[in-house]
């Protein structure tokens, strides 16, 4: 076999090593699924084999990765339900054969066991895991619009109860080894490297070759749907999942159905129920879009799909960060975590030290949670040098400027830093709104000047937006992408323009919330509708998060730069009054659209005086229309960015939107949403909104032309090749 190796020891125990060639980690490819039943039959039919230990031949054991795109009925657009079901059943049938082979099977988990990787181990009779803080066990499929389809919805509830299983699967969270032991997912946690030894000891000690759910005496932990306690779980669980998903994710509903129906049936029938719901989910547009954007496209971008191929690979060893505020401190932390020597510069030593303390606080938490040793934390912290001395920049491969959004201040620090840089070193500005070409005017080497836009909080936000100025060279692009990949972020590359791609498009969501406020919508209704679209927060909440005073400063800078071409945005007068007259800056000073002096936060009562409410009652039709309005406004701006050449790759547009500002993930991203709605229907609806709310909804000519030709973005624009 290509993916599995079998060795039988003197005790008759077969060690089956899972090791997919040519991959850094094991995934459940079609070849793997074909071979599982082959070695199961070999084990079952060989009398010399008394038991089986399944382990990984890679330090990063196994992670999600069935190739959904090649499945019948999957991303390729097939519609043969029987073929899709047969493909879906292939893994479930194989794992069912494994757990009923009549011989004890133990999993020796020595690395990641996520998605299908964990489902494979759940089909084993015993699970041993190494006590390694880097190991995670979980079922994260919900994050890409699916749910566990390899027996996870049936085995996990039978192991730990329906309530705990539904919570874990619906959130896609993972366990560390000791947490998995406490939850009842694994049986034993051992010293790293002793996993196989412990698994063999269990078999030699009389390990049982029958799963608990295959015994006549088995009872579902916590009870099933008709048990007094179990019935409450489904009643409350249905409401909780609805609250989390707002009905946007078919995977959530179908997962609940698979669990509800499956736990009432014998395992063989239950697995067939799961497979049917899984295939039904896989064929939905939501799953198709999320798999493409959050799995396939994201992987391509993570691996450097946009990197100029003819530039030698670079490996940044030393990077300076200018500005030790929240953003600069976060950048310094992720750099140090990636092993990069970091010079953290601020105007005062006190400020620089405070920036380093941000990293220290995060590292302390990681150590306390067992996610890192103290020695490792100390080594990471030692990589950060807080200082006011620009001469320490010497020898840096790259500089990331993260000072206040002032063109004059950025010009000043650019000149100071460039005086210390060797030829070929890159200067990156973390500006979120100011055009890179204009900032590069302060540089004596504009070919090495580029935008490197992080998002806050840096340690949690996974996207970095690379912005090209008019004179940015190919080498600077390549080096910036090498840097982003080294710190394990997802890069997108966009062209210059005010607000670039992410800030510009995100701003339309917040601005449309202000327009609704000015129109008389109740503030609570605005934010509830915003969350119901699938956005992470309502537009008013989100405005508080990014700071109202920052919004006012950006508006004033934009007005100064554009002069007569500046177009006032609805509702900004309300924000200006809140900031300049009432000192309400948002979450950062505890006063914005909300008051934050108590938990939970409450809407500021004085808002009704600035924006009288005339629309306080909603109907389902109104909610759906306003949800569509908020999503369309963002998507129209994305299309404008495309027409203007700011962005030109559907992968970057979709992944960037979801990761940067939280564009409703269930859509697959704004470009996927437009494609799935259909260009013609999208343009017609956008025109209706333009007539109702203003020119900001008017579709660009690009959309009209594509609609007339029956085109789609993913059909017309292939993935952008590296320059």
Place of tokens 């960015």: 641
Give mean pLDDT, residues 643-660. 96
Dihedral sign for Cα 672, 675, 678, 684, please: positive
Q: Are residues 120 and 242 in the same domain?
A: yes
Give mean pLDDT, residues 401-426. 94
Of the three residues 258, 283, 308, the one that is the final residue of a domain is 283
Cα-based torsion angle of the residue sequence 144, 147, 152, 158 in order, rounded to the nearest 10 degrees: 130
Task: Catalogue the long-range contacts made by 527-530 (C-beta closer than 8 Å, 24 or more residues apart).
Answer: 529/618, 529/623, 529/626, 529/627, 529/630, 530/630
Express as a percent the part of the chain with pLDDT over 70. 96
Q: Which residues, other chains included, contact 612 with Cβ-Cβ below 8 Å and sequence gap of 6+? A: 520
Model pLDDT, residue 579: 96
CA distance 150 to 162: 17
Pairing between β-strand 126-130 and β-strand 188-190 as defined by DSSP bridges:
parallel
Cis peptide bond prior to 457, omega within 30° of 0: yes
| Residue 712 exposed, middle or buried by CB count within 10 Å (0-12, 13-18, 19+) | middle
Model pLDDT, residue 539: 97
614 DSSP assignment: S
Q: Are residues 325 and 208 in the same domain?
A: no
CA distance 144 to 141: 6
pLDDT digits (tens, 9 = 90+) for 580-610: 999 999 999 999 999 999 889 999 999 999 9
How many structural domains does the chain have? 3
Give mean pLDDT, residues 649-660. 96
Express as a percent the part of the chain with pLDDT over 90. 81
Model pLDDT, residue 60: 60
Query: Considering the domain boundaries, does residue 297 fall inside one?
Result: no
Q: Supply the angle between the helices 250-262 and 152-160 in degrees, to the nearest 10.
A: 60
3-state secondary structure of 314: coil
Query: Considering the domain boundaries, does residue 665 fall inside one?
Result: yes
Find the angle CA(82)-CA(84)-CA(88) to the nearest 5 degrees: 115
Model pLDDT, residue 25: 82
- Alpha-carbon distance values, 558 to 438, 499, 554 (Å): 13, 10, 6
Q: Which residues, other chains included, contact 531 with Cβ-Cβ below 8 Å and sequence gap of 6+? A: 246, 537, 538
Query: Considering the domain boundaries, does residue 181 fall inside one?
Result: yes
Q: Which residue has the higher pLDDT, 658 or 559?
A: 658
Asked if the model's pLDDT at residue 185 lies above 50, the reply is yes
CA distance 339 to 358: 17
Asked if the model's pLDDT at residue 721 lies above 70, the reply is no
pLDDT digits (tens, 9 = 90+) for 503-544: 999 999 999 999 999 999 999 999 999 999 999 999 999 999
CA distance 664 to 358: 30
Model pLDDT, residue 63: 57
Task: Give the DSSP H/E element, type plus range, for residue 551.
Answer: helix 548-562
Q: Are residues 256 and 180 in the same domain?
A: yes
HSE-up (13 A, CA, CB side) for residue 387: 12
Counted residue by residue, the chain has a size of 723
Q: Is the CB of residue 549 less than 8 Å from the CB of residue 575?
A: no
Of the three residues 283, 309, 330, the one that is the final residue of a domain is 283
pLDDT digits (tens, 9 = 90+) for 489-509: 999 999 998 889 999 999 999
Query: Considering the domain boundaries, does residue 305 fall inside one?
Result: no
Q: How many whole angstroms from its chain centre is CA 352?
A: 30
Give mean pLDDT, residues 281-293. 93
Model pLDDT, residue 405: 81
Q: Which residue has the higher pLDDT, 469 or 230?
A: 469
Q: Are residues 604 and 637 in the same domain?
A: yes
CA distance 214 to 232: 26
Q: Which two tokens stand for residue 99?
A: 């757990």
Query: Considering the domain boundaries, does residue 303 fall inside one?
Result: no
Q: Are residues 330 and 257 in the same domain?
A: no
- Alpha-carbon distance values, 123 to 106, 276, 597 (Å): 9, 19, 50
Pairing between β-strand 463-468 and β-strand 449-453 as defined by DSSP bridges:
antiparallel
Radius of gyration of the chain (CA): 27
Model pLDDT, residue 64: 56
Q: Which two tokens stand for residue 196?
A: 């196989």
CA distance 474 to 452: 15
Dihedral sign for Cα 146, 152, 153, 159, please: negative
447 DSSP assignment: G
Number of Cβ atoms within 10 Å of the Cβ of 629: 19
Model pLDDT, residue 70: 44
Query: Considering the domain boundaries, does residue 132 fall inside one?
Result: yes
Model pLDDT, residue 562: 82
CA distance 142 to 66: 14
Closest CA relative to residue 142, chosen from 280, 300, 4, 287: 287
Model pLDDT, residue 469: 96
pLDDT digits (tens, 9 = 90+) for 664-679: 999 999 999 999 999 9
Model pLDDT, residue 317: 98
Model pLDDT, residue 67: 47
Of the three residues 263, 283, 303, the one that is the final residue of a domain is 283
CA distance 723 to 304: 12
Model pLDDT, residue 498: 82
Quickly list DSSP for 388-438.
S-GGGGTT-SEEEE---S-HHHHHHHHHHHHTTPPTT-EEEE--SSS-HHH
3-state secondary structure of 538: coil
Q: Which two tokens stand for residue 525?
A: 């209704």
- Average pLDDT value over all residues in the chain: 92
What CATH number does the domain containing 561 carry? 1.10.1040.50
Pairing between β-strand 137-138 and β-strand 174-175 as defined by DSSP bridges:
antiparallel
Q: Is the CB of residue 695 less than 8 Å from the CB of residue 541?
A: no
Residue 453 is among the residues annotated as catalytic for this protein: yes
Q: Which two tokens stand for residue 59?
A: 């330090």
What CATH number does the domain containing 406 carry? 3.40.50.720
Pairing between β-strand 602-603 and β-strand 384-387 as defined by DSSP bridges:
unpaired
Q: Are residues 209 and 101 in the same domain?
A: yes
Q: Specify the range with the lowest mean pLDDT, choosing from 40-54, 231-245, 410-424.
A: 231-245
Quickly list DSSP for 573-602.
HHHHHHHHTT---BGGGTBSSEE-SSSS-E
Q: Are residues 218 and 110 in the same domain?
A: yes
Q: Are residues 630 and 494 in the same domain?
A: no
Helix ranges, 22-66 (H): 30-45
Asked if the model's pLDDT at residue 299 lies above 70, the reply is yes
Q: Is the pTM of this model over 0.75?
A: yes
pLDDT digits (tens, 9 = 90+) for 216-229: 999 999 988 888 87
pLDDT digits (tens, 9 = 90+) for 48-90: 999 999 999 986 656 554 544 444 444 434 557 888 888 888 8
Q: Are residues 439 and 513 in the same domain?
A: no
Place of tokens 């959050």: 294
Closest CA relative to residue 48, chosen from 93, 17, 4, 6: 6
Asked if the model's pLDDT at residue 718 lies above 80, the reply is no
Q: Which two tokens stand for residue 622?
A: 């109104």
Query: Considering the domain boundaries, does residue 531 fall inside one?
Result: yes
Give mean pLDDT, residues 322-350. 97
Q: Which residues, other chains included, contact 38 with Cβ-Cβ below 8 Å and sequence gap of 6+? A: 1
Model pLDDT, residue 77: 44
Q: How many whole angstroms from its chain centre is CA 127?
A: 29
Q: Are residues 536 and 494 in the same domain?
A: no
Query: Considering the domain boundaries, does residue 299 fall inside one?
Result: no
Asked if the model's pLDDT at residue 485 lies above 70, the reply is yes
What backbone torsions phi and psi does residue 245 show, to the nearest 5 degrees?
Answer: -105, -15
Q: 127 has which bridge partners?
A: 107
Q: Are residues 433 and 542 in the same domain?
A: no
CA distance 668 to 75: 13
Asked if the model's pLDDT at residue 554 lies above 90, the reply is no
Q: Are residues 220 and 342 in the same domain?
A: no
Pairing between β-strand 105-109 and β-strand 126-130 as defined by DSSP bridges:
parallel
Q: For 199-228, what is the HEC assignment?
A: HHHHHHCCCCCCCHHHCCCCCCCCCCCCCH
pLDDT classification of 442: cutoffs 50, 70, 90: very high
Q: Is the CB of residue 120 less than 8 Å from the CB of residue 107?
A: yes
Q: Which residue has the higher pLDDT, 723 or 85?
A: 85
Q: Which residue has the higher pLDDT, 114 or 721?
A: 114
What CATH number does the domain containing 152 carry? 3.90.226.10
Question: Could you list the residue range(s) of the whole structural domain that residue 491 is in?
Answer: 318-498
Q: For 663-721, what is the HEC assignment?
A: CCHHHCCHHHHHHHHCHHHHHHHHHHHHHHHCHHHCCCHHHHHHHHHCCCHHHHCCCCC
Model pLDDT, residue 74: 45
3-state secondary structure of 343: strand
Q: Which of 125, 187, 227, 453 is catalytic?
A: 453
Asked if the model's pLDDT at residue 720 lies above 60, the reply is no
- Alpha-carbon distance values, 217 to 151, 187, 260, 265, 496 (Å): 21, 20, 20, 14, 67
């Amino acid at each position: 076999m290509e993916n599995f190796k079998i060795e039988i020891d003197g005790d008759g125990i077969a060690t089956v090593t899972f090791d997919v060639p040519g991959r850094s980690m094991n995934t459940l490819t079609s070849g793997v699924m074909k071979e599982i039943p082959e070695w199961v039959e070999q084990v079952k039919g060989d009398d010399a084999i008394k038991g089986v230990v399944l382990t990984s031949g890679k330090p990063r054991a196994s992670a999600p990765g069935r190739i959904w795109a090649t499945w019948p009925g999957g991303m390729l657009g097939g519609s043969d339900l029987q073929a899709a079901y047969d493909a879906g059943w292939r893994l479930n049938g194989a794992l069912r054969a494994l757990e009923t082979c009549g011989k004890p099977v133990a999993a020796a988990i020595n690395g990641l066991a996520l998605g299908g990787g964990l489902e494979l181990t759940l089909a084993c009779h015993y699970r041993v895991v190494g006590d390694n803080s880097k190991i995670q066990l979980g079922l994260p499929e919900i994050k890409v619009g699916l749910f566990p389809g390899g027996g996870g919805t049936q085995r996990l509830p039978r192991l730990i109860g329906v309530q705990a299983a539904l919570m874990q699967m619906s959130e896609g969270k993972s366990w560390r080894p000791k947490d998995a032991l406490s939850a009842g997912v694994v049986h034993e946690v051992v010293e790293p490297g002793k996993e196989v030894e412990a698994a063999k000891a269990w078999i030699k000690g009389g390990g049982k070759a029958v799963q608990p759910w295959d015994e006549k005496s088995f009872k579902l932990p916590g009870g099933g749907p008709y048990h007094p306690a179990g019935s409450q779980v489904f009643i409350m669980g249905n409401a909780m999942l609805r609250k989390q998903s707002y009905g946007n994710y078919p995977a959530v509903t179908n997962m609940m159905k698979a669990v509800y129906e499956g736990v009432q049936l014998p395992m063989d029938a239950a697995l067939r129920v799961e497979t049917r719901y899984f295939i039904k989910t896989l064929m939905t547009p939501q799953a198709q879009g999320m798999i493409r954007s959050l799995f396939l496209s994201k992987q391509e971008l993570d691996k450097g799909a946009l990197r100029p191929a003819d530039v030698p690979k670079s490996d940044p060893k030393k990077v300076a960060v200018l500005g030790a505020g929240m953003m600069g401190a976060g950048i310094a932390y992720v750099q140090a975590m990636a092993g990069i020597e970091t010079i953290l510069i601020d105007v005062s030593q006190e400020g620089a030290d405070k920036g380093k303390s941000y990293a220290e606080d995060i590292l302390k938490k990681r150590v306390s949670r067992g996610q890192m040793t103290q020695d490792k934390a100390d080594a990471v912290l030692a990589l950060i040098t807080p200082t006011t001395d620009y001469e320490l920049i010497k020898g840096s491969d790259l500089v990331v400027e993260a000072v206040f959004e002032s063109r004059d201040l950025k010009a000043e620090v650019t000149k100071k830093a460039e005086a210390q840089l060797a030829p070929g070193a890159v200067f990156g500005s973390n500006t979120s709104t100011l055009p890179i070409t204009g900032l590069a005017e302060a540089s004596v080497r504009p070919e090495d000047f580029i935008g490197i836009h992080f998002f806050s909080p840096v340690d949690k936000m996974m996207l970095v937006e690379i912005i090209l100025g008019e004179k940015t060279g190919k080498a600077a692009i390549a080096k910036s992408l090498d840097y982003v990949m080294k710190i394990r972020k997802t890069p997108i590359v966009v062209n210059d323009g005010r607000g670039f791609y992410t800030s510009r498009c995100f701003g339309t969501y917040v601005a449309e919330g202000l327009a609704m406020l000015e129109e008389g919508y109740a503030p609570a209704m605005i934010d509830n509708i915003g969350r119901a679209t699938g956005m992470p927060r309502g537009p008013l909440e989100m405005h508080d998060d990014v700071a109202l005073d920052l919004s006012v400063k950006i508006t004033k800078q934009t007005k100064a730069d554009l002069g007569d071409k500046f177009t006032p945005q609805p509702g900004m007068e309300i924000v200006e009054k809140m900031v300049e007259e009432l000192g309400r800056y948002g979450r950062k000073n505890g006063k914005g659209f909300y008051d934050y002096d108590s938990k939970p936060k409450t809407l500021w009562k004085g808002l009704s005086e600035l924006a009288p409410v005339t629309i306080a009652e909603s109907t389902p039709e109104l909610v759906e229309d306003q949800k569509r309005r908020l999503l369309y406004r963002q998507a129209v701006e994305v299309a404008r960015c495309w027409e203007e050449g700011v962005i030109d790759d559907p992968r970057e547009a979709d992944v960037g939107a979801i990761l940067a500002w939280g564009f409703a993930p269930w859509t697959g991203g704004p470009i996927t949403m437009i494609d799935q709605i259909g260009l013609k229907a999208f343009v017609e609806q956008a025109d209706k909104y333009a007539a109702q709310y203003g020119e900001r909804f008017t579709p660009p000519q690009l959309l009209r032309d594509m609609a007339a030709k029956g085109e789609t973005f993913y059909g017309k624009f292939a993935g952008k090749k590296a320059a």
